[in-house]
A = this chain, B = another copy of it.
Amino acid sequence: MAKSIYLDYAAAALPNPSSIHEQGIEVKSHLEGSRKNVADILGARVSEIFFTSGGTESNNLAIQGVVFTSHEKANKKDKLPHIVTTNIEHPSVLETCKLLQNRKLAEVTIIDVEPNGIVDPRKIKKAIKPNTVLVSVMYANNEIGTVQPIKEIAKEIRHYKKTRAQSLGPSAYPVFHTDAVQAVNYLDLNVEKLGVDLLTLSGSKIVGSGRVGVLYKRSTVKISNIFGGGDQEGGLRPGTENLAEILKFSGALSKLENLKERESKRLVMLRDYFLVKLEKMSRFDLDIGMIINGDLENSLPNIINITFPKIPSDLLVIELSAWGIMASSKSACKSLSGAGSYVIQTLRPDADPEIGGVRFSMGHDTKKENIDYVIKSLIHILTKLKKWYV
């Protein structure tokens, strides 16, 4: 059949995976191939993978989805559903919890991480109550790179459920969600090993990927849709799937899996090289001192977050930019808020918020000579700033 006439422009300018004609079916098979690939990488089932517009949407769908479902199951006299999370989550988790709290749809407990940026699993466990429906703890932090003890938290939740079953009876809650957006490039994503029920991924942090989000949802966990609309993604996420971006995401994720181990090792070496140079520069050459934010023992290999005492980090980022170096002083998602980084403030609540920390986050094309150039530039910049601030 050489001839093909497309008279379905009202469905979409390009063939739509939900259309029942031949081209629709072909597109659908590509979509499902990508879903199978993502499922395999996560150690999940095909029916447990849902495509969204990005990490923000996946986190919202996980959190709001659990809360809405618990409302549907609740009796009038039941307490509000309760969420446990930490104070260094990404805004798309933290602000969503606050949104639900403000709308009187949920009660939220925010656990402070320790001064090294790691949450204590026992504090999570202690916060769980009979009305707790969700625990949401990020896999790795976006600002300081700390990797959270996800497996230990999962174990505490399982233990709570077992103990609870003996007294109050078995419950599907609390559900355990992790935001793995920053972890994707370097850490193991197997949902069984991690022990999570919901997991968020985003294409935006993966080189060569399309701009889509993924939500893994364990088949036994029920969550409700946020959007009303069509039947796509099992009705959980209405709206025509963005096939071109999904294909790119799936391809980039596969490529990543093959490179992950080698690239992690390379970046750990590069990070350590960077740190030695930074230490030498700040302590001996400039004598201004330096604080490493986070916990190098439990950290992503690509993120270094440092504070030079008395030097405002926003200013440092702008000075670095003039040298052609793109770094950051807080989550770009919160760059318009006047306040400094809430993550850094959490680690050192008594410090001046203006000082904050500078994040260097490396990637596939970062090389040793780039680090040398950054150090050279920093010496110039800090020699100038030291006169004004220190």
Chain A residues proximal to chain B, CB less than 8 Å: 1-16, 18-24, 52-57, 59-60, 68, 71, 90-100, 103, 142-143, 145, 182, 204-209, 211, 225-232, 238-240, 242, 244-245, 302-303, 314, 317-318, 320-329, 331-337, 359-363, 365-366, 370, 373-374
Contact = CB atoms under 8 A, between A and B. Distances in A.
Given A228-B99, A333-B18, A10 B359 contact: yes
Q: What are the 3 tightest A-B residue pairs by CB atom distance, in nearest-first order? A: A230-B333, A96-B228, A53-B53
B373 A3 contact: yes
Given A317-B20, A332-B240, A335-B231, A205 B95 contact: no
Given A12-B332, A20-B314, 20 more contacts: A7-B360, A8-B359, A10-B205, A12-B204, A13-B208, A20-B321, A21-B328, A23-B326, A24-B326, A53-B57, A54-B239, A56-B227, A56-B238, A56-B240, A60-B226, A68-B103, A91-B228, A95-B230, A231-B336, A240-B332
Contacts of A97: 228
A1 to B, nearest CB: 5
13 contacts: A1-B322, A5-B325, A5-B326, A7-B370, A13-B363, A20-B328, A21-B317, A21-B326, A23-B321, A71-B103, A92-B238, A93-B228, A231-B335
Given A21-B326, A96-B229, A317-B20, A10 B244 contact: no
Contacts of A238: 56, 91-92, 95, 333
Counted per complex, copies of this chain come to 2
A60 to B, nearest CB: 5
A90 B227 CA distance: 13
A12 B205 contact: yes
A319 to B, nearest CB: 10
Contact of A22 (B60, B100, B245, B321): B321
Contacts of A91: 228-230, 238
B361 A9 contact: yes
Nearest to A182: B10
B3 A230 contact: no
A337 B229 CA distance: 12
B19 A229 contact: no
From A206, A225, A324, name the one whose CB has the most chain B CB atoms within 10 angstroms: A324
Given A24-B332, A232-B333, A326 B19 contact: yes
A231 B360 contact: no
Contacts of A94: 228
A60 B21 contact: no
Nearest to A325: B5
Nearest to A95: B228
A207 B13 contact: yes
A56 B4 contact: no
Nearest to A19: B332
A127 to B, nearest CB: 20
A374 B5 contact: yes
Nearest to A94: B228
Contacts of A5: 324-326, 366, 370, 373-374
Nearest to A53: B53
A90 to B, nearest CB: 8
Contacts of A208: 13
